[in-house]
Amino acid sequence: MFMRSISLPVLFAASLLAAPTHAEDTSAADSTATEAAPAQLTAGQVLQQLQQKIQQLGNRLQTIQQQALEKKPELQQQKDDFADMVQSKMAELGVNADEARQKLEKIAAEAKQKAQSLTEEQREKMQQEYTEQRNALQQAQQQVMQMDEVKAAGDALSKALVDGMKTVDDSSEQLLEQLNQAQAQYQTVVQRVMQHQAQQAAQQTSAE
């Protein structure tokens, strides 16, 4: 299944850490037990619950953020300026963020439109193309976000956004903490699933 197209990672409070999508194979995780999951739940079910929680928190925070931006036009301008800075720095690295996202959206739309008629080989080819494009965009974003100038602007925007959101809903900071915790739990479960699958693959190889 295809991930959503990548949005400019303004920062943790601005982009609200988009909820993980089904890029990870949660169906494979269903047979994997984890310490983080209650005994009656599979890892796949835990991942699904965490995805729902992250999505709910993200939606609520996005609503609060939008209200804060509408309330303070100068905050919206600061956010737009930061997004422009990130795109400009990505362009310096030879990456056109808008074109890259449009290509991702096109691949995802085509895959959805032709879902019933695609062969397994065609589906895998499209998934590979999507993954390569997405990874290239993410790598460029990550590289830009490590630049001192961008980090400083991002930190300033992060503080301004959180302060602005708190004027709309004073629980915003607590909601952000809950979102971060849920995402950390999600990543922990994913890592354990991958480790378990790697161990199984190694055991099968040695048995052969």
The per-residue pLDDT for range 179-190, each reduced to its tens digit, is 999 999 999 988
Cα separation, 145 vs 140, whole angstroms: 9
**CB atoms < 10 A from the CB of 144, how many?**
25
Rg (CA), the chain: 20
Contact by Cβ (8 Å): 81, 10: no
How many H-runs (helices) and E-runs (strands) does the chain carry? Answer: 7, 0
Interatomic CA distance for residues 95 and 134, integer angstroms? 12
pLDDT in tens, 77-129: 999 999 999 999 999 999 898 898 899 999 989 888 888 898 989 989 998 99
Q: Where are the domains of the chain?
A: 26-207
- For helices 43-71 and 172-207, angle between their N-to-C axes, nearest 10 degrees: 150
Whether pLDDT at 52 is above 90: yes
pTM, two decimals, is: 0.67
